[in-house]
């Protein structure tokens, strides 16, 4: 026989309650049972790819307000009735080259910690690139046997690329499985580079449930195919999910008041 078991545990002295002429108040503990014993709720860990989520929301002006997120509250939109959230892990990096972005990001990291998230930091690295724009007058002198109007510009430029986040997520997913810290994994990301660790979990820890929560406006062909092939649960996070998960504005940490940045409204 299977089902839900509720245990009423007294939290007041029965002797005192007899004197007061009423039954003792109880604590109700819920779990699942089968023939032979009680089964506790399944423990779930959420792994959140911070910049993948951020840039997905940044693609559309009407979604910028959703950056003011209570991440554990967002996670609670997706767990099933037989699960409880054990950890919420937020992976990000600090944009140290831009003071305004850094101030907003450090503020959000502090908020994440205050609501119970574990924050795992990567870093940014400056990397050189060469423009691949087609033009008839390249910005640099190049020698080619087939010089024509379709020549690439090849002008050198640099930008900052996030490093270590994919590796950090992969390592923490495998650590959680090896250390037997959870029975369910939820990944919030649309990054196709995270397919290999998911495949490893499927192969080595087949009993662990995997759910992929994809931010809107992300290109996830490989990740989507992996979900279908391995029968992972997969869902695109909707505007309704985000709307239900916003922080109050203003938000308080102790007595300190924090207001949502105008740039996120």
Residue 232, SS3?
A: coil
Q: CA–CA separation, 226 vs 223, rounded Å? A: 5
pLDDT of residue 157: 52
Q: Are residues 134 and 82 in the same domain?
A: no
pLDDT computed for residue 161 by the predictor:
64
Q: Which of 132, 161, 190 is the last residue before a domain boundary?
A: 161
Please give the tally of structural domains in the chain: 3
How buried is 42 (Cβ within 10 angstroms: 0-12 exposed, 13-18 middle, 19+ buried)? middle
81 and 209, same domain (yes or no) = yes
Query: Based on the domain organization, do 114 and 211 belong to the same domain?
Result: yes
Same domain, 111 and 174: yes
Q: Are residues 80 and 172 in the same domain?
A: yes
Contacts of 66 (CB under 8 A, 6+ apart): 57, 239, 242, 243, 245, 246
User: Would you state the structure tokens that stand for residue 253, as one six-digit string?
Assistant: 């940490």
pLDDT of residue 36: 54
Question: Is residue 241 classed exposed, middle or buried when 0-12, 13-18 and 19+ CB atoms within 10 A define those classes?
Answer: middle
Q: List the domain range (segments joined by +) for residue 172.
A: 42-122+164-264
Q: Tell me the CATH number at 177.
A: 3.40.50.1010
Is 239:74 a contact under the CB 8 Å cutoff?
no
Q: Does residue 174 sit in the same domain as residue 254?
A: yes
Geometric angle at alpha carbon 162, from 200 and 244, rounded to 5°: 75
pLDDT at 192: 86
- In this structure, the answer to whether residues 204 and 130 fall within a common structural domain is no
Does 155 lie in the same domain as 172? no
pTM: 0.75
Within a 13 Å sphere around the CA of 154, how many CA atoms are in the beta-carbon half? 12
Burial 159-193 (b: 16+ CB within 10 A, else e): eeebebbbebbbebbeebbeeeebbbbbbbbbbbb
SS3 132: coil
pLDDT tens over the chain, length 265 residues: 444 444 444 444 455 555 555 555 444 444 544 555 566 789 999 999 999 999 899 989 999 999 999 999 999 999 999 999 999 999 999 888 889 989 999 999 999 999 999 999 986 566 655 666 666 555 554 444 454 445 666 666 556 466 678 999 999 999 999 999 999 999 999 888 898 999 999 999 999 999 999 998 767 667 777 788 888 899 999 999 999 999 999 999 999 999 999 989 8
- The answer to whether residues 173 and 97 belong to one domain is yes
pLDDT of 217: 76
Q: Hey, CA dihedral for 90, 85, 234, 239, is it positive or negative?
A: negative
Q: Do residue 203 and residue 250 come from a single domain?
A: yes
126's tokens:
């400056």
Q: Domain check: are 33 and 156 in the same one?
A: no
């Amino acid at each position: 026989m299977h089902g839900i078991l509720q245990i009423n545990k007294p939290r007041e002295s029965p002797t005192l309650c007899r004197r007061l002429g009423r039954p003792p108040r109880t604590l109700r503990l819920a779990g699942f049972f089968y023939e032979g014993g009680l089964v506790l709720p399944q423990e779930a860990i959420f792994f959140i790819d911070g910049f993948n989520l951020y840039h997905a929301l940044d693609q559309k002006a009407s979604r910028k307000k959703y950056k003011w997120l209570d991440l554990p509250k967002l996670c609670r939109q997706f767990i099933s009735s037989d699960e409880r959230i054990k950890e919420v892990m937020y992976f990000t990096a600090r944009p140290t080259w831009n003071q305004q972005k850094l101030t907003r990001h450090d503020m959000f990291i502090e908020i994440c910690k205050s609501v119970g998230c574990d924050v795992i930091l990567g870093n940014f690295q400056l990397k050189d690139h060469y423009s691949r724009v087609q033009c008839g007058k390249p910005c640099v002198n190049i020698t080619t046997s087939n010089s024509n109007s379709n020549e690439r510009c090849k002008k050198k430029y640099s930008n900052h690329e996030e490093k270590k986040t994919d590796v950090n997520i992969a390592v923490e997913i495998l650590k959680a499985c090896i250390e037997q810290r959870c029975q369910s994994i939820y990944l919030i990301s649309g990054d196709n580079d995270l397919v290999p660790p998911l495949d490893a979990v499927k192969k080595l820890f087949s009993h662990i449930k995997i759910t992929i929560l994809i931010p809107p406006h992300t290109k996830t062909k490989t990740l989507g195919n992996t979900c279908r092939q391995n029968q992972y649960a997969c869902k695109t996070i909707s505007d309704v999910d985000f709307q239900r998960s916003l922080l109050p504005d203003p938000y308080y940490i102790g007595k300190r008041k924090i207001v949502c940045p105008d740039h996120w409204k």
